[in-house]
Amino acid sequence: GQNIDQPTEMTATEGAIVQINCTYQTSGFNGLFWYQQHAGEAPTFLSYNVLDGLEEKGRFSSFLSRSKGYSYLLLKELQMKDSASYLCAVRDPSGGSYIPTFGRGTSLIVHP
Amino acid sequence: NAGVMQNPRHLVRRRGQEARLRCSPMKGHSHVYWYRQLPEEGLKFMVYLQKENIIDESGMPKERFSAEFPKEGPSILRIQQVVRGDSAAYFCASSKGHTNTGELFFGEGSRLTVL
C-alpha cells in the first residue's frame, strides 16, 4: 500500500521561512514531487527529488531522505502570493505503472 | 505553446444524466492522466492512458466511469448516470514520457456539480 502524510494546515508571516514536511510509506520509490495549487486553479510543478539531498530553486528548496521516507519543502522570504496548497506526490514503480500518488496537501496561509 | 486544455471548466448535471469531460494534452505529450479532487482532499488517481490504450485504470470505479484517448482528438472521461457523490473537480495531466522522466503538467480542471 501507499501512505503519504502532510500537515493539513500551516500559517506563517510574510518574509519568514516555512518548512512543509511530507512522510511516505510506499512499496517502491522512483521520485518525489512537490506541486503548488492555488484555490480553483491547476497544480503547478515546483520540484522533483529522486536522490537524497537538497535541491534549491530560488526561494523554494526541497529535501529528500529516502532511508527515512521523508521530504520537506522550504519556502523562504514568504510572500502573500505563496498562500496556497502544497501537494507532495510519490512515484511508486512497484505496481508497474509509475503513477504519482498525492498526499492530501498542506494549506499554507501567509499573513502580513 | 498551449498547456493542457480541459473543457468544460464547469458542468452542472442532474442525477442520472451523463457527464463528458474533455482533455487535450500539451503539444508533444502522449501520456494522459485523470485525477479527481474532492474539497479538502488530495488528488486521487483514476486512470492513465496513452493514445488508443488504457494503461492503468486501477483508480477508476468499475461502474459508470469510462475513459478513452482516441488516435485523433482529446481524451474523454465519461460518467454515466451521475450521482451527487460524483461532484468534484476532475483534473487531467499530461507528460511527454512516463516512467522516470519529467513531471506531470495539469489542466485547470473541470468542476462537476450534480444536483
Highest mean pLDDT among A106-110, B2-6, B49-53: A106-110
Proportion of chain B above pLDDT 90, given as a percent:
77
- Determine contact, residues A49/A55, Cβ cutoff 8 Å: yes
Q: How far is B55 from chain A (nearest CA, A)?
A: 8
Contact A45 B105 (CB under 8 A): yes
What local confidence, expressed as pLDDT, does residue A40 receive? Answer: 87
Contact B91 A33 (CB under 8 A): no
Q: Which of A3-17, A54-68, B36-50, B95-109 has the lowest mean pLDDT?
A: B95-109
Residue with cell string 500539451: B26
Whether the pLDDT of residue B97 is over 80: the answer is no
Whether the pLDDT of residue A19 is over 70: the answer is yes
Which residues of chain A make contact with B108, given a CB cutoff of 8 A? 41-42
Contact A42 B44 (CB under 8 A): no
Q: How far is A19 from chain B (nearest CA, A)?
A: 19
Q: What is the mean pLDDT of residues A66-81?
A: 97
Question: Does residue B107 or residue A92 have the better pLDDT?
Answer: B107
Q: How far is A21 from chain B (nearest CA, A)?
A: 15
- Determine contact, residues B75/B69, Cβ cutoff 8 Å: yes
Q: What is the mean pLDDT of residues A24-51?
A: 92
Distance (Å, whole) CA A64 – CA A59:
17
Q: Which residue of chain B is at minimal alpha-carbon distance from A9? A: B40
Task: Provide CB contacts within 8 A for B73, sequence distance 6+.
Answer: none
Grid cell, residue B9, equals 471548466
pLDDT 10s digits, A20-35: 999 999 888 889 999 9
Average pLDDT, chain A: 93
Which residues of chain B make contact with A55, given a CB cutoff of 8 A? none
Whether the pLDDT of residue B107 is over 80: the answer is yes
Contact B100 A95 (CB under 8 A): no
User: Which runs of E-coded beta strand occur in B1-115?
Assistant: 5-7, 10-13, 19-24, 31-37, 43-50, 53-56, 65-68, 75-79, 88-95, 105-106, 110-114
Nearest-CB residue to B108 (from A41, A97, A105)? A41
- Determine contact, residues A62/A73, Cβ cutoff 8 Å: yes
Phi-psi region of B51 (alpha: psi -120 to 50; beta: other; left: phi over 0): beta
Whether the pLDDT of residue A94 is over 90: the answer is no
- Determine contact, residues A28/A34, Cβ cutoff 8 Å: no
One-character DSSP codes across A4-32 = EE--SEEEEETT--EEEEEEEE-S--S-E
pLDDT band at B98; cut points 50, 70, 90: low
pLDDT 10s digits, B15-60: 999 999 999 999 988 899 999 998 777 899 999 999 889 999 999 9
What local confidence, expressed as pLDDT, does residue B69 receive? Answer: 95
Pairing of strands B65-68, B75-79: antiparallel
Distance (Å, whole) CA B87 – CA B113:
5
